[in-house]
Structures are given as C-alpha cells and as structure tokens.
Amino acid sequence: MSVETTVPGYLAGTWQLDLIHSDVSITARHFMVSKVRGHFNDFAATIVTAENLLDSSVTATIQAASIDTRQDQRNAHIRSADFLDVENHPTITFRSTGLRPNGDDYKLDGELTIRGITRPVTLDLELNGISPDPHGGTRIGLSARTSVLRHEFDINFNPLMETGGAVVSDKLDVALEIEAVLEQPAS
C-alpha cells in the first residue's frame, strides 16, 4: 500500500514548527497524589518527510529555561541544578533515528539529550493530518507521547515525604502537539 493511500495529502518536504499552534509539556506526580504540568514556551523543530514516509526524520531543540509550571518558585527550582541545570545545559534536544508503523499510527525512535546525557526514547506518534491552510501554505499535525525517567538523565533530586513517598515522581510523561508548515516541497 502506498503512502498516498494511507496518508491523505502526504507530501515529501521540509516542515518548520508553528510555535503558536504547538505545545510541548511534561507531567510529574507531586506528593504522589496529584499531577503537576509544565509547558516549554521556547522550542523549535524541523520535520523532513521523505518520499517513503518511514524514511522521514525530526530534529528538535527546547530551551530548558522556558519551562512554565504557572508558579515562579517551582519554575526557578526546576531550572536549578536540582533538575534541568539550565545554566550549564541550556537546551534539551531530540534527534530521530527511525520511524516504524504501529497499527494506524507510528513509533518514532530517537535520541533525547537532557543535561548533556543522551538516552534512546520511543514516542507513540499519531499523524493527525496534512492539509492546505487559508494562507496558501500546507500544514501537518502530529501528536506524540512518551515517558522518561528523571534518574536516567542524572536528575536525582528526590526528597521523601514523612509517609515514605517521593515528593516528585521519577517518571515524567511527555506530550507533544505539533503543527508545522511546509517550507520546501521535495523536488
């Protein structure tokens, strides 16, 4: 089955992120009873869709200091050496290493670098669609999810509560809602 019949409107080319219509967020358990969310406000990505969709690639950079949890004191703590250490590691990066089918969706394999430590990660990827926009451009929409463990990136701040549970979970859920604009169709 060809890509054209499985992904309506599929185009090979280079796509640049539309930051206004995209979101990169993390969620952690707090006191083991609730979830706290943070959003990164400054990030960029380039998506290259290949003639064969499975040969496509993604590179992304997040400015670590742009984390926003809607609470200034918590933001400052997450930026500190206890967590992201933005003074010494200002960016978080992702580089894809492969794309494979997963039912109607895909698995995007890649390398995630946080605090200078690179680990393999697999994102569950949903291609939401490709469509012309009212401004004469073409847009692609993607959703992706994964989980990472903080300790794998040397983020070990982990005080315990009197009841024995952790103040902040080791597991972070990562969610991406991406919209990108076709910059250059493949020739």
What tens-digit pLDDT sequence spans the chain (187 residues)?
344 447 889 999 999 999 999 999 999 987 677 899 999 999 999 999 999 999 999 999 999 999 999 999 999 999 999 999 999 999 999 999 999 999 999 999 999 999 999 999 999 999 999 999 998 999 999 999 999 999 999 998 876 555 655 568 889 999 999 999 999 666 6
Whole-angstrom distance, CA of residue 84 vs CA of residue 96: 22
Whole-angstrom distance, CA of residue 177 vs CA of residue 84: 22
Whole-angstrom distance, CA of residue 56 vs CA of residue 48: 6
Output the pTM of the full model.
0.90
Of the candidate CATH numbers 2.40.128.110, 3.40.50.1820, 2.60.34.10, 1.10.3720.10, the domain formed by 3-20+40-142+180-185 belongs to 2.40.128.110
pLDDT per residue as tens digits for the range 119-170: 999 999 999 999 999 989 999 999 999 999 999 999 988 765 556 555 688 8
Q: Tell me the two tokens of residue 145.
A: 């999810």
Whole-angstrom distance, CA of residue 170 vs CA of residue 148: 8
Domain map (residue ranges) of the chain:
3-20+40-142+180-185
